Copies of this chain bind each other. A is one copy, B any other.
Amino acid sequence: MSTAPDGSRATIRAVARLAGVSASTVSRALNAPELVNAETRRRVLECADRLGYQPNRAAQSLVLGRTRNVGLIVPDIANPFYAPFIKGVEAHFRDTEYAVFLADTDEDTATEVRLAEAMSERVDGLILCAPRMSGTRLRTVASKTTIVLANRVSRAAPSVLLDFRPGMEQAVAHVHALGHRRCAYLAGPANSWSNRQRRRYLAAGCAARGIELVELGPYEPRFTGGFRAADEVLAQDVTAVFAYNDLVALGVLSRLTARGVPVPARPGTPGGLSLVGFDDVPMASMTHPPLTTVAMPVTALARAAAAAMHAMLAEGAPGAPPPPPAAELATRLLIRGTTGPI
């Protein structure tokens, strides 16, 4: 059994006593097998096993100065965009000595700050996905623990980034080729890096091609945000819509369908709309019609973030983090059913 008769857990000394060696030898047998006689080691391991010995992590952490935990903070676990990110990070650390601790900020900056602070005391490193906190705050957190940023740049810590440009460029070119000349952008959270990026490349692409772009919102980046957006879009005189993300796009699609507005426009019939999303969440390919969207290589992003963190941790550099590498991962347009000629 794993617990002694009195309910307390076996310590390294108990194992040592049972095996007739010192605590150091047990420690070595466990952590540096090559430093100990094969036979001794066998005996120690057997005794440890017999007592159900598990090293006390607090004691290890205290002496080693590391927890072997890494934290992962995302804005909203319910957002399908983050699911593959989370799973990617978890997958990377599975079968390593690290455990991944996940937390969700509910898209709230104050919660994010509190969580980052609580976590930073309990982990060796923290992966912050699309954090909304200020640069100053970020610096504070970075001074306490090793940080890797995903989808956010800062001088305070290295980042892994999605390169929005190719996808956005392709989206604008596609819509332009279909004849659209007046489009709407349904903005997401104003303080979000993703929103700024999307808007920026969209604006640039539209300007370059003589497309007039009207910005609506901000909307909450969820399905219901799209409902509200849909009605406001209809009040504008546009023929195509770029939504902040797929969830919003799906909400727009749903509401538009309910109001009888064809997506995309039916040739010859006025009043239809073309619709482009961002993220390529699983649901996007399953609607009627399936959503034209810009796909993000989220799993690759996750892997990059996890690998960067793992490397920084391994480096053992307790001082300043290594030179921030900023991996960029290209997005691309997936043309499906919600875009058509004007």
Q: Chain B nearest CB: distance from A299 CB in Å?
A: 13
Q: A57 and B121 in contact (CB under 8 A), knowing A144-B2, A319-B7? A: yes
Contact residues in B for A144 (Cβ distance below 8 Å): 2-3, 54
Q: Are A251 and B61 in contact (CB under 8 A)?
A: no
Report the separation of the CA atoms of residues A87 and B61 in the bound assembly, to the nearest whole angstrom. 29
Checking B56, B90, B118, B122 against A104 with a beta-carbon cut-off of 8 angstroms, the contacting residue is B90
Task: Tell me the A residues contacting B by CB distance below 8 Å.
Answer: 1-3, 7, 54, 56-59, 61-62, 67, 69, 77-78, 80, 83, 86-87, 90, 94, 99-104, 106, 111, 114, 118-119, 121-122, 140, 143-144, 223-224, 251, 254, 257-258, 282-283, 286-288, 318-319
Write 29 A-B pairs (CB below 8 A) sorted by A numbering: A1-B143, A2-B140, A3-B143, A7-B318, A7-B319, A54-B121, A57-B61, A57-B121, A58-B61, A77-B77, A77-B86, A77-B102, A78-B83, A86-B104, A87-B104, A87-B106, A90-B103, A90-B104, A94-B114, A99-B118, A101-B101, A101-B102, A101-B103, A102-B103, A223-B282, A223-B286, A251-B286, A254-B287, A258-B288
Contact residues in B for A319 (Cβ distance below 8 Å): 7
Q: Are B58 and A67 in contact (CB under 8 A)?
A: yes
Q: Chain B nearest CB: distance from A195 CB in Å?
A: 22
Report the separation of the CA atoms of residues A287 and B288 in the bound assembly, to the nearest whole angstrom. 11
Q: Which residue of B lies closest to A223 (CB)?
A: B286
Contact residues in B for A2 (Cβ distance below 8 Å): 140, 143-144
